[in-house]
């Protein structure tokens, strides 16, 4: 794949813009933990909700959309809107306001505010949440690697590089 000067300049412009935005907000983020995590509570509620909703996209979802478009045509663009849109609206409209009103900076602080630290089953519920987070992370990693593998399978010429990368073990070593 050969990239033209316009393609390269667009990628470089995007990267430079992202670095400049990071430098611009660096001073504000250094003020305290609240500024780092929530923008000093100066972000409007819809931007706070969008920041949570924006991290729910990955390459496997994109591949799924392309497959749907291939199978069903352009009408398939509405299929993903059947369920995730309600989740994103909920995140944008309610969760961001709840977090701000509870004075919690993280999900763990919000759970502490909501359920407290003492009482029947509190420690067990915290352990369940931690276990769920760890299992979810491992599952999402596996899901991402499967998607990445399927993506790379199309664009990397495996036949040309198979001799240089030791993916299988020769019989003489077994």
Rounded to whole angstroms, the Cα distance separating 174 from 158 reads: 24
More confident residue, 48 or 12: 12
Task: Give me the mean pLDDT over the 113-129 stretch.
Answer: 79
| CB-CB contact of 124 with 136 (8 Å) | no
* pLDDT band, very low/low/confident/very high, at 60 (cuts 50, 70, 90): low
Tally of domains in the chain: 1
Q: Which of 48, 38, 7, 153 is nearest to 106 (CA)?
A: 38
Q: Does 15 have pLDDT greater than 90?
A: yes
With respect to residue 34, please indicate whether it lies within any of the assigned structural domains: no
With respect to residue 23, please indicate whether it lies within any of the assigned structural domains: no
With respect to residue 54, please indicate whether it lies within any of the assigned structural domains: yes
More confident residue, 174 or 36: 36
Quote the pLDDT of residue 11: 92
With respect to residue 75, please indicate whether it lies within any of the assigned structural domains: yes
With respect to residue 129, please indicate whether it lies within any of the assigned structural domains: yes
> What is residue 91's DSSP assignment?
I
With respect to residue 28, please indicate whether it lies within any of the assigned structural domains: no
How confident is the prediction for the chain on average, in pLDDT? 77
Q: Give the structural domain span for 88.
A: 44-157
The DSSP secondary structure of the chain, one letter per residue, reads ----HHHHHHHHHHHHHHHHHHHHHHHHHTS-HHHHHHGGGTS-HHHHHHHHHTT---HHHHHHHHHHHHHHGGGGGGGGGGSHHHHHHHIIIIIHHHHHHHT-SSHHHHHHHHH-SSSTTHHHHHHHHHHHHHHHHHHHHHHHHHHHHHHHHHHS-HHHHTTTS--S--GGG-
At residue 56, φ and ψ (nearest 5 deg) are: -110, 30
Quote the pLDDT of residue 159: 76
Output the CA angle 6-11-15, nearest 5 degrees: 145
With respect to residue 58, please indicate whether it lies within any of the assigned structural domains: yes
With respect to residue 25, please indicate whether it lies within any of the assigned structural domains: no
pTM listed for this prediction: 0.39
């Amino acid at each position: 794949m050969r990239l033209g000067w316009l393609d390269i300049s667009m990628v470089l412009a995007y990267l430079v813009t992202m670095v400049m935005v990071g430098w611009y907000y660096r001073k504000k983020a250094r003020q305290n933990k609240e500024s780092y995590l929530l923008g000093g509570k100066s972000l409007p509620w819809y931007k706070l909700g969008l920041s949570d909703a924006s991290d729910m996209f990955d390459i496997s979802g994109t591949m799924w959309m392309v497959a749907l478009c291939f199978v069903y045509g352009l009408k398939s663009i509405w299929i993903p809107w059947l369920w995730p849109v309600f989740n994103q609206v909920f995140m944008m409209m309610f969760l961001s306001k709840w977090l701000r009103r509870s004075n919690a900076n993280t999900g763990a602080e919000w759970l502490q505010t909501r359920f407290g630290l003492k009482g029947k089953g509190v420690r067990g519920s915290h352990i369940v949440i931690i276990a769920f987070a760890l299992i979810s992370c491992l599952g999402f990693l596996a899901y991402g690697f499967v998607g990445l593998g399927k993506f790379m399978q199309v664009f990397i010429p495996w036949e040309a590089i198979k001799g240089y990368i030791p993916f299988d073990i020769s019989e003489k070593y077994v």
